[in-house]
Amino acid sequence: MARALNRMTEVLQQNFCPPQGEQNRVVQVECTFEHFLAHRTPAFMGEEDPLRAWRWIEDLERTFEVCGCTEAHKVLYGSYLLQGEAANWWKTKRELLEMELGSFAAVSWLRFKKEFEDRLFPIFVRLQKAQEFNNLVQGDMTVEQYARKLTELGRFATHLIATEELQAECFKEGLRPQIHRQVACLQIQNF
């Protein structure tokens, strides 16, 4: 058994590990502006509803991940996509951050995101969505519609559904009584 494991390790190293001398060479795809723009993340005007602002940030972060963007690229490219009212807000906020931090380069993506969310997806909206999640019941929705709404609003109340068991319990508790009775006896642990 030990010999078989050693042989498998050798085969994996031969096929997947770089030869000696090339181990320190890292191949990195550069996150060029053209590569970023090719993903066609839409501009953000600042007039959209707060949920749209939140979704825009999520879309941007997926694009950043695919492109392999650095922190500096994230702030630069993300802020480039701001237009209209959002661009006006960012111009002023950027100047204030540069004075506070000493340079634009010191603005991290987390800081940009926090400032953006505070302005365009304010805390009262986030709390409202968390409360909406907390009060969600199936009502007239189909089970599928209810599950989709629970998932959508759950992003704003992750503290209430931190585990699979908690998600399943929240789902079960909001079901219509006749469906709840049928599901409760199954003792479902996964959502």
What's the chain's Rg over C-alpha atoms?
24
Q: Note the pLDDT of residue 10.
A: 52
Evaluate whether 46 touches 86 at the Cβ level (below 8 Å). yes
pLDDT per residue as tens digits for the range 155-189: 889 988 999 999 999 999 999 999 988 888 888 77
* Residue 22: inside a domain: no
Q: Note the pLDDT of residue 160.
A: 87
The phi, psi pair for 44, rounded to 5°, reads -120, 125
Domain membership of residue 161 as a residue range:
125-184
pLDDT per residue as tens digits for the range 98-134: 999 999 999 999 999 999 999 988 899 999 999 999 9
Predicted TM-score (pTM) of the model is 0.69
Same domain, 117 and 129: no
* Residue 51: inside a domain: yes
Same domain, 136 and 152: yes
User: Is 34 in a helix, a strand, or coil?
Assistant: helix
pLDDT of residue 29 exceeding 50: yes
Total residue count of the chain as it appears in this document: 191
Same domain, 74 and 131: no
Q: Which of these three, 121, 138, 157, is where a domain ends?
A: 121
pLDDT per residue as tens digits for the range 71-100: 889 999 999 999 999 999 999 999 999 999
* Residue 132: inside a domain: yes
Q: How far apart are CA 113 and CA 52, in angstroms?
A: 14
Same domain, 138 and 105: no
Same domain, 143 and 114: no
Q: Which of these three, 70, 96, 121, is where a domain ends?
A: 121
Query: By 3-state DSSP, what share of the chain in percent is helix, strand and coil, each rounded to 5?
Result: 65, 0, 30
Q: Note the pLDDT of residue 150.
A: 94
Same domain, 114 and 170: no
Q: Note the pLDDT of residue 18.
A: 47
Alpha-helical regions (H) of 135-189: 143-154, 164-174, 177-184
Same domain, 133 and 116: no
Count of structural domains, the chain: 2
**Directed axis angle between helix 143-154 and helix 123-134, to 10°?**
150
* Residue 1: inside a domain: no
Same domain, 156 and 109: no
Average confidence (pLDDT) over 65-69? 94
